Structure 1
Amino acid sequence: MGTLPALSVVIPHLNEPSDNLRQCLLALQAQRSDGISFEVIVVDNGSADLPAAVCASFPDVRLVSQPTPGPGPARNLGAAESSGDLLAFIDADCVAQPGWIKSLVGFLNGRPEVDLVGGDIGIRMTDPEKPTSIEAYESIYSYRARSYVERYGFAATGNMAVRRTVFEAVGPFGGISTMEDTEWGQKATSMGYRIAFVPEAKVLTPSCKSFAELSRRWDRHVAHEFRHIEGRRLGTLRWLLSCAVVAASPIGELAKVLASDRISGVGSRVGAMACLTRIRLYRAWLMVRLLQTRRQAALVDNWNRGD
């Protein structure tokens, strides 16, 4: 390419519908008019069909393959194959909103004291005027990007950027058995690297299409949480107490649902509350089941290798 790009965008890919990846790449391509040079690296993680045709239809998009399962290893390979001083991570089903690249590059170049950033993540609704109950729920609860950054010290890898030198110093993302974005980000901030939230750098991602899909997403989170209680003193008791809290928690969330500016209308709020109650009860049930079966590893692997 002659000169090095200012930014390298890494996109892990696994069995994603071709139209989703195409929409992701189209949104990035549209941002070349902002005058910032960037490359895109799509890392396939074992799809039944490689997205070769989609990637080949865009300039400065490279497709590489990572056979090791997990979005973490896929992102690690993409980072290793890239050449920009700044690395950005986005998921294959996400659509970067106008100015995403400009906001990330401008913020990091203008704030040398900041080492990594997370942007906002919203739901790409089928019909914004009539969101489904799952879309309404996910708009409020599924992607609390500001909270991840400002309260918990990590950025979701569906919308994250980091200086290459910092990424190399912290080390690679973990494998399939880890919550790779949480653990990597918290490792970085524990090492003294500074993180910031950039609301102008926003992406939209599709909502789950069914309750089965939504619950499957939670399988992985609950399984990872369960891993941390095994072997701990009073671990089982603490887990059961947490289970009770989760089951009762919808009562305390009503005010948040009513006040949220992420959705509007009575119907959307009723739907969000109904979905919230259902998923919290499912999580509580799953927590009890894990105590009985101890099969958390199977839940993690199934999440990653599904269609």
Structure 2
Amino acid sequence: MTAPLPAGFRVTLDPDTKQLREDLWFGGSPARVLRLTAAGRRAWRELADGPVTSPAAGALARRLTDAGFAHPVPPGPAAPADLTVVVPVLDRPGPLARCLASLDGRHPVLVVDDGSADPAAVAAVAAAHGAKLVRRDVNGGPGAARNTALEHVSTELVAFVDSDCVADGDWADRLAAHFADPLLAAVAPRVRALAPDTAAGRYTRAASSLDLGDRPARVAPRTRMSYVPTAALVARRAALTAVGAFDPELRVGEDVDLVWRLHAAGHRVRYEPDVHVGHREPATWRELLGRRVRYGTSAAPLAKRHPGNLAPLVLHPWPALTVAALLARRPLLASAGFGGAVLAMLKTLRAHDIPAEGVVRAMGTAVHQTWLGAGRYGTQFAAPVLAALLVPRGWGRRAAVASLLLGPPLTRWLSERPGVDPVRYTAGALADDIAYGTGVWAGCLTHRTAAPVLPEIAWRPLRVDSKEKRGSA
């Protein structure tokens, strides 16, 4: 049985959580319906009024936070945590100096020089800021450098921060408060882009791939937040050691691999966006898109190491049929597909005694999300094919293909209203996605696998967690 969330923790509901009835909740990631027993409802009344004080409330809090219905709010830190800050670096003494200067000095700092060409410059910066230095004679990559650091760390917690980051204030201690949960292995802050005032920099400030947004989340494969970058991360040293720490064979994607191995071992990993760390971003499109290509190359080795964790596109049959029919300008078939989606969902809801209000709107949202997902998938992995389809005559086909290409970035622009005009934002997003997809294809060829580009069909329209499966909840 999973340990309950400890006494003193509070929970805050996720914005997507909806109470359908006193005993029925909808939300989570992946989305599901949760049925509460009478004991579960009593436990929720305790949680709604304050922190965990009973085993029943702790058990419910664990289930809600594990499923994504709610997020834990830890007791505040009473004192600085038992923590060491680790900064791996390869050359770049200037950014390293800014990084070390930004730290608040409440914790020891260990700099790992991962085979820099000018070790004296790195050593001078470390000494100027009172940081201990460990030198690796041969460059092994970020994972190997962090593993070397763990050999020299004795504190309970370790805070990894990259040398091109600026970590102001008490960021590490605020994250360390979450470790009052004994199951927590790691927690990451929000990484905000520190980008120059160039075209690439302005786009990155609006859509950095390291910035995972303003919503807290449990981090686990096949959920809304499947990974966190280790540009900034606070972790329990014992948990890292137990799973073998970072895989030194991975030069890219080592952070994703670590998170997924921690999850497989039964640990919890969380994303806490109320805590921010800045990250220096590329100034040119060449640097930015080159980095995205490198990120993409990690998909293939990750897919081989973690089968089933990486799905570039998940399609539900009825919404997918509806979108395909709309793109093909087959309104009758699209209507039939949408009707099938509504009827399939109604059948599932009635079988589990779940209210059916709002089904039509929910299926409309599902169709919309399927269209956006298909568009981004096509841009990342089949952009030349979509571009070729724009050439033949026929405004209907051109409009359909253009909607797949332009729909996802324009929808994001309308939703987020970043500080970039829609034309430049859309062009940047298309280049970003194509660069990432290029890297994925390159990795697939190198590792001889097509897993990272294969869509997946999800046949079950909705997950329902019954009281029998959920025990007292």
Instruction: Verify: 1:167 aligned to 2:240, yes or no.
Output: yes
Gaps of 5+ in 1: 233-237, 298-307
- Residue equivalent to 1:275: 428
Q: How does 1:92-111 map to 2 (within 5 A)?
A: 92-108=163-179, 110-111=180-181
Amino acid at match of 2:114: N
Change (3 A) 1:106 1:286: closer
Residue 122 of structure 1: how far off its partner (Å)? 0.4
Give the conservation status (yes or no) of the 8 Å contact 1:159–1:202. Answer: no
Give the conservation status (yes or no) of the 8 Å contact 2:185–2:262. Answer: no
Structure 1 CA distance for aligned equivalents of residues 274 and 176 of structure 2: 12
- Residue equivalent to 1:122: 192
Instruction: Verify: 1:136 aligned to 2:212, yes or no.
Output: no
Structure 2 CA distance for aligned equivalents of residues 251 and 113 of structure 1: 41
SS at match of 2:242: helix
* 2:154 maps to which of 68, 83, 102: 83
Give the conservation status (yes or no) of the 8 Å contact 1:120–1:198. Answer: yes
CA RMSD of aligned residues (A): 3.1
Gaps of 5+ in 2: 1-79, 308-312, 314-373, 384-403, 449-473
Amino acid at match of 1:260: E
Report sequence identity in percent: 26
SS at match of 1:142: coil
Amino acid at match of 1:57: A
- Given the two structures, how large is their TM-score scaled by the length of structure 2? 0.51
Structure 2 CA distance for aligned equivalents of residues 76 and 219 of structure 1: 25
Give the conservation status (yes or no) of the 8 Å contact 1:41–1:78. Answer: yes
RCO greater where, 1 or 2, for CA within 8 Å and sep 6 or more? 1
- Residue equivalent to 1:48: 117
Structure 1 CA distance for aligned equivalents of residues 107 and 416 of structure 2: 36
Structure 1 CA distance for aligned equivalents of residues 443 and 273 of structure 2: 37
Amino acid at match of 1:277: L
Q: How does 1:168-183 map to 2 (within 5 A)?
A: 168-177=241-250, 179-183=253-257
Amino acid at match of 2:101: L
Residue 251 of structure 1: how far off its partner (Å)? 2.8
Q: How does 1:205-284 map to 2 (within 5 A)?
A: 205-227=279-301, 244-246=378-380, 247=383, 248-260=404-416, 263-264=418-419, 267=421, 269-284=422-437
Give the conservation status (yes or no) of the 8 Å contact 2:166–2:277. Answer: yes
Give the conservation status (yes or no) of the 8 Å contact 1:148–1:154. Answer: no
Q: Which has the larger radius of gyration?
A: 2
Residue 86 of structure 1: how far off its partner (Å)? 0.5
Deviations 1:85-115 (A, max 9, x none): 101111000000222122122332x444433
Residue 138 of structure 1: how far off its partner (Å)? 5.0
Which one is further off, 241-250 or 251-260?
241-250
Give the conservation status (yes or no) of the 8 Å contact 1:119–1:200. Answer: yes
- Given the two structures, how large is their TM-score scaled by the length of structure 1? 0.76
Aligned residues: 269
Structure 1 CA distance for aligned equivalents of residues 153 and 303 of structure 2: 38
Residue 219 of structure 1: how far off its partner (Å)? 2.4
SS at match of 1:38: coil
